[in-house]
Amino acid sequence: MPDLLQAVKNVVQSFIDDEPKPPLHIGEAMGCWIHVVLCAEIQVQTEAGMNSTNDPELKKALHEAVKTFKSQRDQLTKFMLSEGIPLPPLSESKPISDPNSVPLGVKLTDSELANSIKKKISMTIANCANASSQTLRSDVGLMWAEFLQEHITYLFILKSMMQKRGWLNVPPLYYTSDTGR
């Protein structure tokens, strides 16, 4: 079965390919600049996290996050260069290392790693939504929609894994006064 979101994207893309593309306004450029920095920094931090865990399921989830952030970083970098937006200085990728050689005082637990990436994904969702709300160009809006969809999909999968493992930090339940609790 074809991906419904991809089908919608293809239809929308066919309409916006013929639209004139005025220069980006400062809000659109700033949204790109901030997101490319977020992607680069979170990618590097997640790579460091991959070097701290032996859990295969968590390592796979972190690898998927790195892949997504790298893809978005590369797509945005190419777009920014084509639009004449200067690139910010970005951190370099981390080499792969043995999780068993990470000192205990530095090494994060699997729960800490999972909750950290969950917070970072939530931050990028907020950034994408904010940038999307400021954009005027349809091609840029479509890019933000694609990024949002990728992050939201990943977050659902991550939270399911975290809940299964007991890693999801949940605030206390709220009970109204009329429930008698």
Burial (CB count within 10 angstroms: exposed 0-12, middle 13-18, buried 19+), residue 104: exposed
Q: How confident is the model at residue 10 (pLDDT cuts 50, 70, 90)?
A: low
pLDDT at 180 > cutoff 70: no
What DSSP assignment string belongs to 153-168? HHHHHHHHHHHHHT--
- Pair 38, 93: CB distance under 8 Å: no
pLDDT of residue 169: 87
Domains with residue ranges and CATH for the chain: 25-96+107-168 (1.20.1260.10)
Give me the chain's average pLDDT, please. Answer: 89
Contacts of 12 (CB under 8 A, 6+ apart): 138, 142
Chain segment 51-98, per-residue pLDDT in tens: 999 999 999 999 999 999 999 999 999 999 999 999 999 988 888 889
Chain segment 118-130, per-residue pLDDT in tens: 999 999 999 999 9
What global pTM score does this model have? 0.83
State the number of CA atoms in the 13 A half-sphere of 114 facing the CB: 25
Distance (Å, whole) CA 154 – CA 65: 8
